[in-house]
Amino acid sequence: MHKVAGTQRGFAEAMGVSVDTVRKFLKGKAISRSNFQDLCEGLELDWCEMAFADDSSVTTQASETAPLEGADRSKQSADSNQSANCRIFLSYNRNIRPDELVALDLHNALRKQHNIFIDQEMPIGTPWAETIRKEIFQADALIVLLSEQSAQSEMVQQEIELARESAALRQGLPLILPVRLRYTAPFRYPLNEALDPLQWAFWNSEEDTPRLIAEIQNALVGKSLPIETETAKRKLLSQSFTVRSQSDQPPMLPPDPMAQPPIEQSDAITLERPEGTMDPNSQFYIQRSSDVVAISALQQQGGGTVTILGPRQMGKSSLLFRTIAIAREQNKKVIFLDFQQFESTTLENADRFFQRFCSWLTRKVRLKNRVEAFWQDNEGLDNPMQCTCYLEDYLLPEISQPIFLAMDEVDRLIKSPFRDSFFSMLRSWHNDRADFDSPWRQFDLVMVTSTEPYQLIQDMDQSPFNVGTSVGLRDFTFAETVELNQRHGAPLSEAQLAALMEWVNGHPYLTRKSLYLVASGQMSAAEVFGQAVQSRGPFGGHLRYHLLRMENKSSLVEGMLQVIDDQSCKDEQVLRRLEGAGLVQRREGRQVIPRCRLYAEYFGEHLRA
């Protein structure tokens, strides 16, 4: 154990975390789940009991084990009473109510004391993507407003990810302050991984605005947001608020006086928003040939290994959860791991990563954590062997069911110095199935990645990605688009479907988004196509997301413009990265084209700015 009776700084160094993280933990404030579990173990506390204890109990137990230093205590008291000037980034979804109104109210109240950034203040001609990244990486706090619509916004999600990236490099800054705007549904994957461990604020009507402003001001000087315990969160999520009248629900975009009236929908059709991972039983899920291949591979006797490969928003996670649902029907023990949950510091340290990986598996199957003792008893083994033996000697024998390990975002390891040894270990698990007595024959492995396998491991002979079954996801065909249109109540005519294919070329997310907007009456088909390439149009968040990802990457910008102008890309590495991002497609020979007309027109204009 790392139990320290001395200073907080010494304890923080021993645990590999910042002093600020230790202080937040001792005060009962929200920190990442992995840090919380590590600090509990370091202080010989049961993290499960601590997680569900009330706040006073948490603070008392933690403080008794590692008391605050005198200097830190006095400084904490002083910090709580002073009104520091903070740099704040305000993240919200523009042109949506109540998001924009609440954002403006917060901005007007907080700017009197703090330096607050809101995108409406950017002058025309400002390099948008560069400014967003710069402001987030300089911010002390990111206030993110989350209504039902904005919680699905790609740009809001990207700004949260940038804040997490910054926090990993800047000792927890910016602090993320989520504000739910009349939104009581659980966050959907992957947003839940980032926001569920944090404290929340809640706004339900204009009457709540003064209270919300006060809560944010308190949070900026170190106090907690009101919804901080698991009990408080469950209570909020269980509430049912009266649905507002239609007149109180303005359209996503400013109304067009020439727009056609909304299309009437059959009462039998309940539309689903297109963002996020789809429910495996959704009526809007289009099964493609890749689904059949993946599911068949995992139904074979003796265990299966499947890699689901494709750019973002192709339906990788939706297919993954579809395989998970089938595995549960077959009474398999499902373990789902999202590699986005690993902090950057963990991804840089092999000892920490492999132990955290085993601890994670242990928690998922609800067994006693024996990782630390096992590592000490087998000190002579390297990390992959320790990990394998831990599973073979302890976890697998304790579980009577077949195991289904589903790992999302495994390409987060792409910059890790130990990625080759980790992926080689997974390959060895696959190879061990050749022994008919091997416990690995009761073990299915599914990996999801947006990165080409050759970039994840140098020795392809040791790669887990070129064994088993590799499933590459493709865009919707015209026939599949027609079928999806029917499931939305046929809001588009055949001619409009042809126009949709021309604009987005079967892109799964953009196709669903278009049909949803028209079927829900938010926009007409003519408006969708007419505003397609506008930064504040129906696809604006999606397009700005990609623009932001190419910020400061001149080689990608040059490569994309080559594809747009010349239908070629001279740099093979750049071409592979553009393919991995889902921005371009190879044709016969050396011809390369933009994935769709939408990308050609938008990036052809904005990458030259």
| CATH number assigned to the domain comprising residue 232 | 3.40.50.450
Tell me which of 472, 498, 531 is where a domain ends.
472
Strands (E), 220-373: 305-309, 333-338
Tell me which of 29, 45, 79 is where a domain ends.
79
Residue 62 pLDDT greater than 70, yes or no: no
Lowest mean pLDDT among 243-247, 280-284, 479-483, 526-530: 243-247
Mean pLDDT on 172-178:
94
Q: What is the distance, to the nearest Å, from the Cα of residue 230 to the centroid of all Cα atoms in its chain?
A: 21
Residues 308 and 169 in one domain: no
Residues 387 and 349 in one domain: yes
Domain presence at residue 159: yes
Lowest mean pLDDT among 50-54, 89-93, 451-455, 527-531: 50-54
* CA–CA distance, 16 with 463 (Å, rounded to integer): 31
Cα distance from N-terminal residue to C-terminal residue, the chain: 55
Domain presence at residue 371: yes
Element (H, E) at 13: helix 8-15
Domain presence at residue 281: no
Boundaries of domain holding 156: 84-237
Residue 246 pLDDT greater than 50, yes or no: no
Domain presence at residue 108: yes
Show Cβ contacts of residue 406 under 8 Å, excluding neighbours closer than 6 positions: 320, 323, 324, 327, 334, 335, 336, 337, 446, 448
Domain presence at residue 398: yes
Residues 93 and 39 in one domain: no
Residues 370 and 388 in one domain: yes
So what's the pLDDT on residue 585? 93
Residues 304 and 233 in one domain: no
Residues 386 and 399 in one domain: yes
Domain presence at residue 186: yes
Residue 34 pLDDT greater than 80, yes or no: no
* CA–CA distance, 482 with 493 (Å, rounded to integer): 9
Residues 59 and 94 in one domain: no
More confident: 212 or 51:
212
So what's the pLDDT on residue 2? 43
pLDDT tens per residue across span 115-131: 999 887 666 656 777 88
Residues 334 and 466 in one domain: yes
Lowest mean pLDDT among 63-67, 187-191, 536-540: 63-67
Residue 181 contacts residue 102 (beta carbons within 8 Å)? yes
Residue 529 pLDDT greater than 90, yes or no: yes
Lowest mean pLDDT among 173-177, 496-500, 503-507, 549-553: 549-553
So what's the pLDDT on residue 116? 93
Residues 339 and 409 in one domain: yes
Domain presence at residue 278: no
Residues 328 and 436 in one domain: yes
Residue 491 pLDDT greater than 60, yes or no: yes
- Location of structure tokens 């087998």: 378
So what's the pLDDT on residue 251? 34
Mean pLDDT on 331-358:
90
Residues 104 and 16 in one domain: no
Packed helices 508-519 and 494-504: angle between N→C axes, nearest 10 degrees = 140
pLDDT over 70, % of the chain: 81
pLDDT over 90, % of the chain: 54
Tell me which of 79, 104, 130 is where a domain ends.
79
Residue 242 pLDDT greater than 70, yes or no: no
Please count the helices (runs of H) and the strands (runs of E) in the chain. 27, 12
Packed helices 383-390 and 419-431: angle between N→C axes, nearest 10 degrees = 40
246 phi, psi to nearest 5 deg: -60, -35
How many domains does the chain contain in total? 4
So what's the pLDDT on residue 97? 82
So what's the pLDDT on residue 301? 84
pLDDT tens per residue across span 422-440: 999 999 999 999 999 999 9
**What is the CATH number for 456?**
3.40.50.300
Domain presence at residue 567: yes
Residues 161 and 215 in one domain: yes
* CA–CA distance, 19 with 16 (Å, rounded to integer): 10
Residue 459 contacts residue 294 (beta carbons within 8 Å)? no
Residue 4 pLDDT greater than 50, yes or no: no
pLDDT band at 503 (very low <50, low <70, confident <90, very high): very high
C-alpha triplet 131, 132, 133: angle, nearest 5°: 95
Task: Kindly state the tokens that stand for 127.
Answer: 């390099």
Q: What is the pTM of this model?
A: 0.70
